[in-house]
Amino acid sequence: MSKSIFLLRHGQTTFNAQQRLQGHCNSELTALGQTQAATLGASLNRKIANKKQWTVYSSPLGRALETAQIVCTELGIDSNSIITDERLKEFNLGDWEMCFIPDLVKQNPKLLNHRDWYLSAPHCESYESVVTRVKDFLDDDTVPDHVIVISHGLTGAVFRGVYTAMSYSETFEQDLPQNAYFLLADDKLSRIQCEVVTAEAV
């Protein structure tokens, strides 16, 4: 794969802070989430020499778009140029969307024993469905060679897994940072850490 991709997760949201699952539903960035987005954008700004080479793609979900707009501000890129792409959306978490994680754990005390526990949700989108979406994006010749992608926790993990040919278990052993982002280039994955507090809930 010849593309160079900076892959970011959206900043912390109200639901993240409340330990509620979002999936395809949405909640706004918290003040911390806005700071996280700005910090990621500022870090990118230091790494990218020629901003005109890069195109910003975002999941159409509000929390990702809000993050993308903040990142664009830090980069000095017009946020009207953001391209939204359905393939970058988070997993649909079925019947568990908007549920509080502690409530789900009360119902199933062993739930968090598995890193892929999210996919136990009734009517959840399948792993294979998201892999297909990500592969389609990576193989799409209309996507430029230099892109900044703002996506989500689980979809981001699958994105990195597909890019580096991880197994299913390896994919879900990854963390879901909001204080770091990734460069995918030359079939390698590099993590770029930023000094911002993170939250794991998706």
- 90 catalytic per annotation: yes
Catalytic residue chosen out of the listed positions 10, 97, 125, 152: 10
Structure tokens given for 55: 């195109």
Q: What is the pLDDT of residues 104-139, one digit of tens each?
A: 999 999 999 999 999 999 999 999 999 999 999 999
Residue 201 confidence (pLDDT) above 80:
no
CATH numbers and ranges of domains, the chain: 4-193 (3.40.50.1240)
Can you give the pLDDT at residue 196? Answer: 55
- Is there a contact between 167 and 116 (Cβ–Cβ < 8 Å)? no
Residue 95: partners with Cβ closer than 8 Å, 6 or more residues away: 121, 122, 123
**Three-state secondary structure call for residue 185:** strand
* Annotation marks residue 146 as catalytic: no
With pLDDT > 90 as the criterion, what percentage of the chain qualifies? 95
* Interval 74-87: pLDDT, tens: 999 999 999 999 99
pTM: 0.94
Catalytic one of 90, 97, 125, 152 = 90
